[in-house]
Structure 1
Amino acid sequence: MRLVSYRGPDGVRPAAVVVGDRLLDLGKVAGDVVSILEAEELRAAARASVAAADAATLPRLDPASLVAPVRPGKILCLGYNYRGHVPDGAEPAAEPEYPDVFVKTPNTLAGPDDAVVIPPGATDVDYEGELAVVIGRRARRVSIDDALDHVGGYMILNDVSDRAWQRRQSQWALGKCSDGFAPLGPWVVTADEVADPQDLLVEVVRDGVVTVSQSTSTTIFSVAFVIHHVSQVLTLEPGDVVSTGTPQKLPAAQAVHRPLADGDAVTVRISGIGELTTRFTTAHPRSTTGDDTGDNA
């Protein structure tokens, strides 16, 4: 199933996308997507609803109504997890013994139709198309063999990054955690529909050109290993997101690198999962706190 969260007349509700672009409300099954991912009986009820639905009577999916499919308590990401992906200007090195894990903070969360605002003064904002895992069962010190049993589903994450801030420090937080720098979606594909997370093609398209194209079979650390590894230190809860890193840009794209700018759009597509298009803007929304003087201080 492809599960989404959408804004309905009475608030955010879970739904399934069926027959391409039809929206089946699942509010009678569960209150949110995470509940469906967490409980087998709710997934069974959702599947039954999908099987019984008459697609011709369902409304078409309105992309503008979609919000982030889940609201994770934690967003964990990996650096340099694809073979061939190395820091700018660096020579390929021996494969690391352990994953390079970092955190994206809750303010980075964005929905699939949200434009990402480029911060004032940012000079080198970049994109990273990634396969993201949504935890379905609580994972605490799980074995590699059992790790995939804790996956609720898979989706796309664009790990938007400010390279200038990232280069200013050994820790990446300020380069990774600007508001809205983690667009998610557009849906979660339940784990039962992904036969092998290590056999998916990750691609990014910018300006009509494929700039990234690499299989998850070339990751250094598999989804199972990453969940096992992280769960030795912290408990992964249902709805948490673990993103598995980005491939290196293709040589031609690296040669003409241009920071993201107002009006740009980037599409991340992953076989078997779907595609996520993120728009970028420099238009900053007015403050909702009642204080609009921040930029003039």
Structure 2
Amino acid sequence: MAITLIRFIPANAPADAEPKWGVVFGDKIAPLDGTYVTTADLIRDGREAARQLTPVQATLELGSVRILPPVTSNQQFICQGVNYESHVRESGLDPRNFPFNTIFTKAPSCISGPYDDVVRPAHVKLLDYEIELGLVLGRDLVPGEVVTPDKLHEVLAGVTIVNDVSARDVQLPQGQFYKGKSYQTFGPVGPVLLLLEPEEWQRWRELKMTLTVNGVARQQAYCGEMLFKPHQTLTELASLHGMHVGDLVATGTPAGCAAKAPGKLVMFILKHFMSDAGKWKAFIAKAKKNPLYLKPSDVMALSIRTDDGALDLGQQRTRVVSA
């Protein structure tokens, strides 16, 4: 049975208080003994102890703590782009032109809590959201190893919710994914790290992602719609560089983002009759009229779970505020 882990501090504690880990049972927490500074420490040294905790040991009220991101900022934050056909098409692209896995990074320093505010920088006007399934490594990848679909449990520890918040007016005109996606608070993660059993890893395709803004559904899709599956991505990453226990891989987002490609006629005009500078100026001017982009006071709610509720990653809820 999946283990629902959280990282937390007492609600009234100072921000620099030493975080603790625990297992959630209903509305209570069974605290885990010991100190695990990083996600890697917890997975290496505390995972089995967490599996031994029972509801009888759940003595701490969930409402009495502040929940922190279950992935610590020392871990790598790797992302996949255009990994759902629906998102490829809404971006004005043809999936047939993407026979490769698009991989980039976000700064780990942008990781924030599942209920913390998302801060929109003063110069950013086109703030967007992207719900994604986060994979957390259970061990270091062996350079060059090949991960097969039936061996995910040997490589991965668990899953979590990621919101790949993006400043489109930085990312797109500048062609800078890292800059446009790495501002402080642009990586809400959690609330939980769901540790899966070997047989539960075979159900990752059944996980359904839902993102709402102010109660209105914007994104909804099953994780099985990914173009490049977890075992393919892990295999490719193992061929690129070191990947270590506790590192986070965000697996891409489906359709429903605020950013949309212009129509074919507009694209033709932009391509043939405008300079690059003029093209992006026109894009930003038009996009500013799009009511789907996030504004201060907007509230995002993200959930990922199987339809039968057997695997449930909880609900992330964040509010947009001005810098």
What TM-score comes out, normalization by structure 2 length? 0.78
CA RMSD of aligned residues (A): 2.5
1:170 corresponds in structure 2 to 175
The C-alpha deviation readout for 1:152-186, integer Å capped at 9, x for no partner, is 11000000000110112223111111111001010
What is the deviation of 1:32?
A: 5.4
| Superposition pairs of residues 206-245 of structure 1, within 5 angstroms | 206-245=213-252
Q: Distance in 2 between matches of 1:29 and 1:170?
A: 41
What is the deviation of 1:36?
A: 3.6
1:45 corresponds in structure 2 to 49
- Match for residue 23 of structure 1 among 21, 29, 52: 29
The residue identity in structure 2 corresponding to 1:279 is R
1:275 aligns with 2:315: yes
The 1:31/1:84 distance shift into structure 2, 3 A limit, reads closer
| Superposition pairs of residues 123-162 of structure 1, within 5 angstroms | 123-140=125-142, 141-145=144-148, 146-162=151-167
- Residue aligned with 1:234, SS: coil
Tell me if the contact between 1:14 and 1:32 (Cα under 8 Å) persists in the aligned partners: no
Q: Distance in 1 between matches of 2:65 and 2:297?
A: 18
The residue identity in structure 2 corresponding to 1:178 is Y
Structure with the bigger percentage of helix: 2
The 1:46/1:164 distance shift into structure 2, 3 A limit, reads same
The C-alpha deviation readout for 1:196-236, integer Å capped at 9, x for no partner, is 22221111111222111111111101111111111111111
The C-alpha deviation readout for 1:44-101, integer Å capped at 9, x for no partner, is 32222226x254xx12213761111121421001111012212655143316222101
Aligned residues: 276
Q: Structure 1: which 5+ runs fail to align?
A: 285-297
* Deviating 4+ runs (over 6 angstroms): 253-256
The residue identity in structure 2 corresponding to 1:67 is L
Q: Distance in 2 between matches of 1:114 and 1:27?
A: 26
What is the deviation of 1:246?
A: 0.5
The C-alpha deviation readout for 1:16-45, integer Å capped at 9, x for no partner, is 111x22111102485655334235xx4332
The C-alpha deviation readout for 1:1-26, integer Å capped at 9, x for no partner, is 111111146611111111x2211110
The 1:130/1:23 distance shift into structure 2, 3 A limit, reads same
- Provide the identity percentage: 25
The residue identity in structure 2 corresponding to 1:264 is D
1:34 aligns with 2:40: yes
Q: Structure 2: which 5+ runs fail to align?
A: 263-289, 306-310
The residue identity in structure 1 corresponding to 2:303 is R
| Superposition pairs of residues 48-197 of structure 1, within 5 angstroms | 48-50=52-54, 53-55=56-58, 58-62=59-63, 65-71=66-72, 72-86=74-88, 90-94=92-96, 96-140=98-142, 141-145=144-148, 146-192=151-197, 193-197=200-204
Q: Which moved more, 1:196-205 or 1:79-88?
A: 79-88
Q: Distance in 2 between matches of 1:172 and 1:116?
A: 18
Tell me if the contact between 1:37 and 1:153 (Cα under 8 Å) persists in the aligned partners: no
2:272 corresponds in structure 1 to none
The 1:29/1:119 distance shift into structure 2, 3 A limit, reads closer
Q: Distance in 2 between matches of 1:69 and 1:267?
A: 18
The 1:96/1:277 distance shift into structure 2, 3 A limit, reads same
The C-alpha deviation readout for 1:130-151, integer Å capped at 9, x for no partner, is 1001111011322122454110
